[in-house]
Amino acid sequence: MKQKYAILRDDDQKTLIVREYAELDKEMMSLLCEETYSQEHIQGALKEGHQAVINVIRTNNMYPPTMFAQAIAEAIDGLLGDNGNQSAELFFDDKDLFNQDIVVPPEVDEDVDEEVDVDTLLDDAIDDDFEDDKVLKELKSSIQVADDDSGDIEDAV
């Protein structure tokens, strides 16, 4: 899905407006959300860094992915800086999120691993726990086999 973020600086109201658009139909952008922030609040966050700006602009209604939010924070920094423009438009495509460099795990050479005998991994005392016949004799079951049921399938055929 393609997205567009329009950032508008309104010096009369001392606000910053961020609008989120998405391409819901082919080549037609629809407004999804509009958030308004005070310039004073955003400038305070800018002093702390871009991550603070990202934390301020993210709301329940508008929560851009980190990659998009970083670009939005940089654009806001440019708008509120000296000689900044009145507006900025940022275009994103969700495919860019999936086309990031994929970390490939290093290959493991299987020949290097020593072969381990399975019997050496087993505990020798495990058989002692199950050799006690008292446990099986004292086992009470609610399931009983009827006397007329035969365990031999050949008789039924």
- Pairwise pLDDT comparison (118 vs 127), residue with the higher score: 118
Locate all alpha helices (DSSP H) within 10-60, ordered by sequence: 39-48, 50-57
The pLDDT of residue 84: 79
- Does some domain include residue 70? yes
The pLDDT of residue 27: 84
| Per-residue pLDDT reduced to its tens digit, 97-117 | 777 665 555 655 555 455 666
Kindly tell me the burial class for residue 72, based on how many C-beta atoms sit within 10 Å of its own C-beta (0-12, 13-18, 19 or more). buried
Into how many domains does the chain fold? Answer: 1
- Does some domain include residue 130? no
What does residue 21 show for φ and ψ, rounded to 5 degrees?
-120, 155
Helix (H, G, I), strand (E, B) or coil at 8: strand
* Statement: the pTM of the whole predicted model exceeds 0.85: no
| Per-residue pLDDT reduced to its tens digit, 2-40 | 999 999 999 999 999 999 999 998 889 999 999 999 999
Q: What range does the domain containing 20 cover?
A: 2-98
- Averaged pLDDT for residues 48-73: 93
- Does some domain include residue 23? yes
- Does some domain include residue 145? no
The pLDDT of residue 70: 94
- Averaged pLDDT for residues 66-92: 90
Q: Mean pLDDT over all residues of the chain? A: 80
- Does some domain include residue 68? yes
- Does some domain include residue 111? no
